[in-house]
Amino acid sequence: MLPVKKIYIDTKKKTTDSVSNSNFKYEIPETIALPHNTIFYIDDVCIPHSWYTIEEDVNDRIYVQLMNANQTVANTPGDGSNECRTVIIDPGNYNLQQLRAELKTKINAAFASLGQTEYFEVTDDPTTNTLMFTTKFTTSIGRVLTDTDIQTGLAAFQSVNGVFNASWNGPSIDTSNPMDMNDIFKNTDGTGYVFSALIGWKTQSVDLQPIKNIYITSPNIGTYKTFSPSGGRTVIKKVPVNAGDNQMIFSNITSSNDYLDCSRQTLKTLQFELKTVNGLNIPLHGSHVSFSLVFDKYRTTED
């Protein structure tokens, strides 16, 4: 006999010491001891799509270099040395045209102290859903650092006129958490493409929905027999993001085999986190989440 059939979870009733609506504790009215062969499902999931395309301190940065194409000091102010900037984009939801305008404005503002209003041009192509980066002057070349660049550091690279040293000399980067938007551009592998006024860098298809799945995790229910893409063993449910911005994501049980074991566990204070594929808590901006824990007995041939 099960002591409880269902527990309804809603972050409106989370404990006061909860971190957020994606990292919270939930107190049930009484301590529950689950018998042998108890299993559970996650059902009736309701999550608002309330995160942004660009999130502050998550994916709001782009690391940009500006150098002289001829390896000599040019007449254009600031154009004769290796200039590096960390560019921070305002958080929010963007379409392709809005993101292009924001990137152009913020990148050029970051380099404005060198003497020119604009060093970079950014254009969009709605047909291919891509962005094109070029420099404004033929004496200039640029590059957007990839994840590989950030992780391995920069050495010499091939410019349009030869090979020369172009190591990053800007503010230090936290290589364990660069908070960059490279996933949006798919600018992750290899060395960043060197672009100029004549030869631009065209991104791959711009991904304005960076979170594809939500991983509900819990350290105190289940038997740690799952693996998440980020390496954890506490995932109890994967929820596909099947709704657009400012809409509601719903997920129900899709298979009778989609259960996890919770035999002989004692429950009182439950803890849950909603994470991205990279293991980060999802910023829900105050929006509430609800779902149900459904308990059942695993039927054996002896039952």
134-189: per-residue pLDDT in tens?
Answer: 999 988 889 999 998 888 876 544 444 443 456 777 888 998 899 999 999 999 99
Give the pLDDT band of residue 228 (cuts 50, 70, 90). Answer: confident
- Residues 6 or more apart whose CB falls under 8 angstroms from that of 261 comprise 38, 39, 222, 223, 225, 298
User: pLDDT tens digits for 240-266?
Assistant: 999 999 999 999 987 777 889 999 999
Same domain, 90 and 184: yes
User: pLDDT tens digits for 261-281?
Assistant: 999 999 999 999 999 998 999
Same domain, 92 and 29: no
Q: Is residue 56 part of a domain?
A: no
Range 3-7 average pLDDT: 94
Same domain, 73 and 194: yes
Same domain, 159 and 32: no
The number of distinct structural domains making up the chain is 2
User: pLDDT tens digits for 57-102?
Assistant: 999 999 999 887 765 444 443 445 688 899 999 999 999 999 999 9
Q: Is residue 247 part of a domain?
A: yes
Give the Å distances, CA to CA, from 67 to 88, 101, 103, 137.
20, 23, 19, 11
Please tell me the distance from the alpha carbon of residue 46 to that of residue 249, in angstroms, as a whole number.
6
Same domain, 253 and 187: no
Q: Is residue 1 part of a domain?
A: no
pLDDT score at 267: 95
User: pLDDT tens digits for 102-132?
Assistant: 999 999 999 999 888 999 999 999 999 999 9
Q: Tokens 């938007």 correspond to what residue?
A: 181
Range of the domain at 92: 61-202
